[in-house]
Amino acid sequence: MPPVVEVRDLRKLYRIGHAFSRDYVHAVDGVSFAIASGETLALVGESGSGKSTVARTVLRLEAPTAGETILDGTSVTRASEHALRRMRARMQMVFQDPYDALNPRMRIGEQVAEPLWLSGKSSRRDALHQAREFLRGLHLPADADRRYPHQLSGGQLQRVGIARALVTEPSLVILDEPTSALDVSVQAQIINLLVDLQAQRSLAYLFISHDLHVVGYLADRVAVMYLGQIIELGPTAAIFERPGHPYTRALISAAPVDHPRERRQRIMLSGEPTSPINPKPGCRLATRCPFALPRCVERDIDLTEVLPGHTVRCRRFAEEHQDGVWNPAPTGWKPGFDPAA
């Protein structure tokens, strides 16, 4: 079965400084993935890694510098404005903060109906009727459609945000940190709702998050981003139990424990991410990586399939691993510094 969405070598560069500047922020630098119907792909990484830019360029909320998104067999990137408006119904997004994402001066029912008539699927009157029907299934107050956003709680508003994304019956939904602005006791309600809706409608989810516990619970596969690139992509169990890339290892190791008895020593990365402006060739983690060697910065590193369906962008891992197992010793080497000299 063909994937619902396929992203090919997506790039987004932002020029900084004056109009003829040659300095570019490489926000997204060659990202490719595909998501099947009913599947959840999680996109994890720290702030500035390019997760949200991927979301925006996949949906063509911003035009990518290069690369292409294919949704249900048609190119989103090359669609005309007119065709794009119809396509938007099939690809939707749920945002992090429902207070910011909803219009404070518009009734809930009208906000949920808006994408329906905007995409030309229904008349405005039918859209409002469909929106009411949809909201009815989401455990909201009976008169929710006539209320304004400030009259609902954060958890209720996020249900509305989800309703607005799903009412047009999309095949792809991008969830950008959908629970991180919510109270702990409400997060579980929203996660359960997302799971139910996916099962009923065979939705493809691109789930953007930095909460590794939620990612481990929801995702079928995980893509890890660092400075604009996917540095590892594989099945959730493999990413959590046998992470390959040193950055993934540090990230998984940094997740808080489930129980205080599990407190442990961790793989710590020194320092913080380097600048995404005109990145140097070679591995982008090299300055922070405890296992770096001179050959890591010789040339750009490709994603290599190390096990079926599990790719890693680490030259040493690709060369040295045995069936996905690699236990290197810290090298003490840093780019621009040679301990032997």
Partner 1 sequence: MSSSAAGKGIAGMDAASTRDSSVLLDVRRLRTEFATRAEPVRVLDGLDFTLTNHHITGLVGESGSGKSVTAFSLLRLLRPPGNVVSGEVWFRGRDLMSLSEKQMTAIRGREIGMIFQQPRASLNPVFRVGDVLNHVLRLHRGMKGDAVRREAFRVFQEVGLPDPARILRSYPHELSGGMCQRVMIAQVLAGQPKLLIADEPTTALDVTIQMQIVHLLRSIRDRLGLTQLLITHDLGLVGEMCDDVLVMYAGEIVERAPVVDLFDQPSHPYTRGLLASRANRKDRDRLYSIPGTVPSLVAPPTGCRFHPRCPYARQICSDVAPAPEHVSANHWVRCHFWKDVVRDPTSAGRDTVAARG
Q: Site for partner 1 (CB under 8 A): how many residues?
A: 43
Instruction: Give yes or no for residue 144 binding partner 1 (CB under 8 A).
Output: no
**Does residue 336 touch partner 1 according to CB under 8 A?**
no
Site string for partner 1, 182-211 (x = CB under 8 A): -xxxxxxx-xx--x--------------xx
Q: Give the pairing type, strands 229-235 and 172-176.
A: unpaired
Least distance to partner 1, CB of residue 47, Å: 6
Minimum distance, C-beta of residue 313 to partner 1, in the bound complex (Å): 18
Site for partner 1 in 217-276 (CB under 8 A): 217-218, 236-237, 240, 250-251, 253-263, 266, 268-269, 271-272
* Three-class DSSP labels, the chain: CCCCEEEEEEEEEEECCCCCCCCEEEEEEEEEEEECCCCEEEEECCCCCCHHHHHHHHCCCCCCCEEEEEECCEECCCCCHHHHHHHHHHEEEECCCHHHHCCCCCCHHHHHHHHHHHCCCCCHHHHHHHHHHHHHCCCCCCCHHHCCHHHCCHHHHHHHHHHHHHCCCCCEEEEECCCCCCCHHHHHHHHHHHHHHHHHHCCEEEEECCCHHHHHHHCCEEEEEECCEEEEEEEHHHHHHCCCCHHHHHHHHHCCCCCHHHCCCCCCCCCCCCCCECCCCCCCCCCCCCCCCHHHHCCCCCCEEEECCEEECCHHHHHHCECCECCCCCCCCECCECCCC
For partner 1, the closer of residues 85 and 213 by Cβ is 213
CB of 152 to partner 1, least distance (A): 10
Considering the complex, what minimum distance in angstroms separates the CB of residue 220 from partner 1? 11
Binding string to partner 1 for residues 29 to 58, with x set by CB under 8 A, is what? -----------------xx-----------
Name which of residues 149 to 168 contact partner 1 (CB under 8 A): 153, 155
Kindly state whether residue 216 participates in binding partner 1, applying the rule CB under 8 A: yes
15 binds partner 1 (CB under 8 A): no
Smallest distance from partner 1 to CB 189, Å: 4
Nearer Cβ to partner 1 (186/307)? 186
**Nearest to partner 1 of 84, 138 (CB atom):** 138
Can you give the binding site for partner 1, defined by CB under 8 A? 46-47, 153, 155, 183-189, 191-192, 195, 210-214, 216-218, 236-237, 240, 250-251, 253-263, 266, 268-269, 271-272
